[in-house]
Amino acid sequence: MWIDAITDFEPETRLVAVKNVSLSEEHIHDHFPEEHGLRAMPLMPNSLIVEGMAQTAGILVGSVNRFREKVVLAKITRASIEHDVIPGRTIRYTALLEQHDAAGAATSGSIEMLDHATGQWSGIGRVDLVFSHIDQNMSGMEFPEHNFVFSDNFRNILHAAGLEDLCD
């Protein structure tokens, strides 16, 4: 999971989630380790920041039909991250639903980072995504009946946010 909590939810419109980046996360140490005489510079990989936005936006898209459809990321239409995120920082993802129909959905998203010293959020990036409802795919492929993209971790995050009623 690349989000820790949902902090705001407007059905069919907007979802906000946060991620606290911690030095205890193993992937932080691999990006970038000490080598060639240079000291280690642990950072949250940008690919995982994009994944955090995909999880945030995916929950918003899935919630429209109460998670009855399997929603998968189909395309990243825009991804721009302008600042490094180091351990001890908090990231805030804001996903907006731009378009939704039987085939899928489009979202726009902003990423902010909290400066704990000042208490101010500053924008560090944008990620716009397209999702597909794979139950409505035209390939003729069959998928399992259970929603394999909706894990217990997602249920726990929804429950903690008071949104467990979305999980029929």
Residue 27 known to be catalytic: no
Over the stretch 62-116, which tens digit does the pLDDT of each residue have? 999 988 888 889 999 999 999 999 999 999 999 999 999 988 999 999 999 998 8
Which amino acid, 42? Answer: P
Phi, psi of 150 (to 5 degrees): -105, 95
Pick the catalytic residue: 29, 31, 100, 159? 31
Over the stretch 3-38, which tens digit does the pLDDT of each residue have? 999 999 999 999 999 999 998 888 776 777 778 887
Q: Which domain CATH number covers 71?
A: 3.10.129.10
Single out the residue of 104, 106, 105, 110 nearest to residue 127, CA to CA: 110
Give how many domains the chain has, as a whole number. 1
Sheet with 90-100: strands ordered across: 5-10, 14-20, 90-100, 104-115, 120-133, 71-81
- DSSP assignment of 40-92: P-----HHHHHHHHHHHHHHHHHHHTTT-S-EEEEEEEEEEE-S---TT-EEE
Q: What global pTM score does this model have?
A: 0.89
Question: Residue 80 sits in which domain range?
Answer: 5-166
